[in-house]
Amino acid sequence: MKLLRYGAPSAEKPGLLDHTGRVRDLSGVVADIGGDTLRPDALKALRDLDPASLPLVEGVPQQDLRLGPCVGGVGKFICIGLNYADHAEEARMPIPPEPIIFNKWTSAICGPNDPIQIPRDSVRTDWEVELGVVIGKPGIYIDEADAMDHVAGFCVINDVSEREFQLDRAGTWDKGKGCDTFGPTGPWLVTPDEVSDVDNLAMWLDVDGKRMQSGSTSTLIFKVPHLIAYCSRFMSLQPGDIISTGTPPGVGMGQKPPRYLKGGEVVTLGIAGLGEQASRVLPSAQA
């Protein structure tokens, strides 16, 4: 099942993608794709619906029908740093002995085709394709063996990052991670029954048609169940929380010479079975 949110920003409606690639309206069934709608019993009720019984939405998704972020009302946007050994190497940082946790502010979340806005005073805005894990069943101190029972689904995330803010501005990584538009999320939330092997998903990212990142979740240092269990030691996980699991090599910071976004570029990215994004980069609006 592929769940989504469509329509104007801040006024998205819930929907699902049918087998023909068209959107079916769920607003007569649920209020949104988020929160309690993502609990296991609620997802089962959606799965039992006949998509053909739902109203057909006009337009083609990601063409003449805008898609919003695939999860609404996100409570926590948790990110994992340096979770691919080859990315840690290109960043000239040691492989961490346990997961590195940082946050993106929820105000960074935007749709999968919405523009990315380079922030004021930015000099090193970068890209990162990542697998997102969305929590459905709440929990704290979750056992790793039970962790996948807490997953509502998976999605594509671009962990857009300003490296100077992140690394050189006397603070935590969060400072360079949570600018507005730095969290394109979607196009859809894909439930686990449609993801045959989350540990072997191809992922890629292009800038203006040039392949920059090419990797696979098979090289994650800390796998999804471990990340869920680990994060739940430090906070309760609630329906709609997102864990963004890290990026493979090929980020702008790792290019020789480094390459950063200036404005005018189109960043396209995707993960096998989870869909694709395409975002135009807007130059910084200086004061």
CATH number at residue 93: 3.90.850.10
**What are the angstrom distances between the C-alpha of 122 and each of 108, 110, 283?**
16, 19, 10
Spatial separation of the C-alpha atoms in residues 18 and 202, rounded to whole Å: 23
User: How many domains in the chain?
Assistant: 1
Element (H, E) at 86: helix 85-90
The tokens describing 114, both together, are 């919405």
pTM, two decimal places: 0.96
The verdict on residue 42 lying in a domain is: no
**Residue 257's domain spans which residues?**
71-282
The verdict on residue 23 lying in a domain is: no
27: buried, middle or exposed (CB in 10 Å: 19+, 13-18, 0-12)?
Answer: middle
State the residue for tokens 């739940």.
232
Q: What does the DSSP 8-state code read for residue 21?
A: S
The verdict on residue 245 lying in a domain is: yes
pLDDT in tens, the chain (287 residues): 999 999 999 999 999 999 999 999 999 999 999 999 999 999 999 999 999 999 999 999 999 999 999 999 999 999 999 999 888 888 888 889 999 999 999 999 999 999 999 999 999 999 999 999 999 999 999 999 999 999 999 999 999 999 999 999 988 899 999 999 999 999 999 999 999 999 999 999 999 999 999 999 999 999 999 999 999 999 999 999 999 999 999 999 999 999 999 999 999 999 999 999 999 999 997 65
The tokens describing 237, both together, are 């996980």
The verdict on residue 139 lying in a domain is: yes
The verdict on residue 194 lying in a domain is: yes
The verdict on residue 56 lying in a domain is: no
Spatial separation of the C-alpha atoms in residues 22 and 118, rounded to whole Å: 32
Strands 2-6 and 13-17: antiparallel
The verdict on residue 241 lying in a domain is: yes
The verdict on residue 255 lying in a domain is: yes
